[in-house]
Chains A and B, each alone.
Chain A
Amino acid sequence: MAVEVKVIKKPGRTIAEQIYIPEIAKGLGFAMGRFFQNTFGPQAKKEIDTVKYPEEKVEYPERFRGVHRLTHRVDGSPRCVACLCCSTACPAQCIHIEPAEYEPDDPRHGYERYPSVFVIDELRCIFCGYCVEACPCDAIRMDTGIHMPPSTNRDHFLFDKETLLSIPGRDGSYLTANPRHEPGDATHPGIDRERGH
């Protein structure tokens, strides 16, 4: 079978392109059109894409992973039970938790622990979101919608428990959409001391 050779003609230039002046006029016309539309045109017709950054900001997408926050219970204490799942899952090893026991008269004593120290090094964090995935209590979230602001001091990037608790979610709430069932509540699904084992 003979090899077929398909000859493709080299695209040449038309006379108008060769003369160059009509092409200049075309290009100038296009540029002038843009210029007049964006300079003197009505506000609605202007197609300027620039955002004046500090004055106007583009909202981050809904699932943007921003700075962490620790969610609250209804009484304002952290939901975190200091299970260390997040710090274990963290590939950057930027979460430091020191668990502590509740006081013996606290109804949560014996069921849960709480973090006495909870520090995230936001400078070391790679914002992968594994901590949020790992958390069994919906206690750590990255739905704040703010990126880490710049600073001149490394210490500013160490977010302690109080700082993390003071950051609200993007909707302004310190809670999460998932309700928390405390031991002793009627809705509490598990076994507890009052209801017997």
Chain B
Amino acid sequence: MTTTFLVVSSLVKVLAILLITVGGFAPILIWAERRQSAMIQDRLGPSRAAITLPASAVTFIDRARLPMWRLAALTGIVAIVALVTLTFIAVKGSNPLPISTSSLTASLVAFGGASVVLRAGYGVHGMIVRNGGKIMLIGLLHPVADALKFIFKEDFVPPKADKLLFSAGPIIALIPAIAAFAVIPFASSLHWDYLNQVLPRTGEIAGPVVPLQVASINVGILFIFAIASTGIIGAAISGYASDNKYSLLGGIRAASQMVSYEVVLGLALVPAFMIYASLRLEDMTMWQHDHMWGIFVPPLTLAAVNFFVAAVAETKRVPFDLPEGESELVGGYLTEYSGMKFGMFFMGEFVEVVSLAAIASIIFLGGWDVPFLYRDGFEFSLPFVAASYSVPLVHWLVVAIQFVVFLFKIIALIWFQLMIRWSLPRFRYDQLMSLCWKGLLPISLLNILVVGAFILSGWLDGWVAFFEKLF
């Protein structure tokens, strides 16, 4: 592998991660949080931000609707015919028709895709016409409006504030949240020379390998802890530098809360290190790929609950949002911030939510692992029966499926975090601290002992063997 290839691929990966987290997840999360809360509370949520089209464009869109629907129906019929023919060929076992199977498959994909796209376009056009030429995108334009507002708002600095620290606070809070993504594997490694081939399921493969993570370092998860704990400094510094008593109190609360929960966060994952026998996130995913998802190993189920609670507390979100606690502290350490500086805190919080969801899904939900998907494609096998059905897939498709499923797992965990955020009331500060030091910490420590016994007694191997027999 040449150095240029390494540099270019790393740059592409860094840019892709920035695009996914800061450019994709953070704005959508701002929307999702408002929208989801609205849905829980029987409201409509954000829907007013709109791009208004001129009347001529609206009439054109209205006229284009019917041809679109007809084309969608036509392509759909072709796709269905192709599907029926393919099923017929699969049942019969041979192809008596003048068309080759591969071109049938290609036309099924092409016409089916076109039909779906056209039908969706028909629906979208109808929506625009019904809204009187306003493109609202179910409120997705609100993050754009928010960003515009953040950029053009006055960048206020309190007169007696420490100017340097005041400006550094949001940066120190945002950067570690993004940096944590450096060690997260988004899919299994990409074998550059075999993109269009079906790989063998096992064995070494020669040629250049692109691991789909920015940095494969041997401390792995410890790097994330180290980086995440720098975020504390951002909150504490901004609380101190604001020259405001409420901000200071918020900063102190943030610092003590995050330091406390960092301990639990680390100790909750020690059982996972013991079972996976590695600190590298890619090795952890590999273990789960080879055996089973971590959450199905009994002691790790408890660890997952512990980790998740600590993670919510670590992101300083409801029910643990005491540093912001607007009923007591105005806005906590955010009180004096406005404009893009506030936006950076906001974004940092959301990126942290994404990164913790990613870590949780890697350690407990198998990361990019998809059930029944191996390096050479899907193989569905029934328990206790020798029957199995396999679908061979080319390499790039396997990696793409893994990537999409990993994103889906992240989204599911984020959704759950938002659900918790809108269901639970805020804790009292002493409850927060006693939950950490008297509840989660002893449980985590005990869990380490239990896992040690679990491994030494051989129950782990037995459990894994039993699980593998099942599937």
From 365 to 398 in chain B, residues with beta carbon under 8 angstroms from any chain A beta carbon are none
Is chain A's interface secondary structure helix, strand, loop, or mixed overall? helix
Question: If A31-B423, A32-B419 touch, does A39 touch B43 (CB 8 Å cutoff)?
Answer: no
Q: Does B424 contact A27, Cβ atoms closer than 8 Å?
A: yes
Tell me how many residues of A have a C-beta within 8 Å of chain B: 16
Q: Does B44 contact A31, Cβ atoms closer than 8 Å?
A: no
B298 at the interface (CB under 8 A from A): no
A148 at the interface (CB under 8 A from B): no
Find the B residue at minimum CB distance from A51. Answer: B44
From 33 to 90 in chain B, residues with beta carbon under 8 angstroms from any chain A beta carbon are 36, 38-44, 47
Q: Does A48 contact B43, Cβ atoms closer than 8 Å?
A: yes
B157 at the interface (CB under 8 A from A): no
Q: Does A28 contact B44, Cβ atoms closer than 8 Å?
A: no
B420 at the interface (CB under 8 A from A): yes
- Choice from A28, A30, A49, A50 contacting B420 with Cβ under 8 Å: A28
Question: If A55-B131, A55-B132 touch, does A34 touch B420 (CB 8 Å cutoff)?
Answer: no
Tell me how many residues of B have a C-beta within 8 Å of chain A: 16
Q: In the assembly, what is the distance between CA of A70 and CA of B172, in Å? A: 67
Q: Which residues from B are CB-within-8-Å of A88?
A: none
Q: Does B40 contact A31, Cβ atoms closer than 8 Å?
A: yes
From 180 to 218 in chain B, residues with beta carbon under 8 angstroms from any chain A beta carbon are none
Q: Does A38 contact B47, Cβ atoms closer than 8 Å?
A: no
Digitize A46-90: 1 where CB-to-B-CB distance is under 8 Å, 0 elsewhere: 011110100100000000000000000000000000000000000
B422 at the interface (CB under 8 A from A): yes
Q: Does B42 contact A49, Cβ atoms closer than 8 Å?
A: yes
A111 at the interface (CB under 8 A from B): no
Question: If A28-B420, A28-B423, A35-B419 touch, does A50 touch B43 (CB 8 Å cutoff)?
Answer: yes
Q: In the assembly, what is the distance between CA of A49 and CA of B42, in Å? A: 6
- Choice from A30, A39, A55 contacting B39 with Cβ under 8 Å: A39
Find the A residue at minimum CB distance from B431. Answer: A20
From 6 to 24 in chain A, residues with beta carbon under 8 angstroms from any chain B beta carbon are 24
Q: Does A28 contact B419, Cβ atoms closer than 8 Å?
A: yes
Q: Does B42 contact A35, Cβ atoms closer than 8 Å?
A: no
Q: In the assembly, what is the distance between CA of A27 and CA of B422, in Å? A: 10
Q: Which residues from B are CB-within-8-Å of A27?
A: 423-424
Q: Which residues from B are CB-within-8-Å of A30?
A: 423
Question: If A24-B424, A52-B44 touch, does A34 touch B39 (CB 8 Å cutoff)?
Answer: yes
Q: Which residues from A are CB-within-8-Å of B36?
A: 35
Closest Cβ–Cβ distance, residue A23 to chain B (whole Å): 9
Q: Which residues from B are CB-within-8-Å of A28?
A: 419-420, 423
Q: Does A47 contact B42, Cβ atoms closer than 8 Å?
A: yes
Find the A residue at minimum CB distance from B305. Answer: A21
Q: Which residues from A are CB-within-8-Å of B42?
A: 34, 38, 47-49
Q: In the assembly, what is the distance between CA of A31 and CA of B419, in Å? A: 7
Q: Does A50 contact B422, Cβ atoms closer than 8 Å?
A: no
Q: Which residues from A are CB-within-8-Å of B420?
A: 28
B-side residues, CB < 8 A to A, are 36, 38-44, 47, 131-132, 419-420, 422-424
Extra inter-chain contacts (12) besides given A35-B40, A55-B132, CB under 8 Å: A24-B424, A28-B419, A28-B423, A31-B40, A31-B423, A34-B40, A34-B41, A35-B419, A38-B40, A39-B39, A48-B43, A50-B44
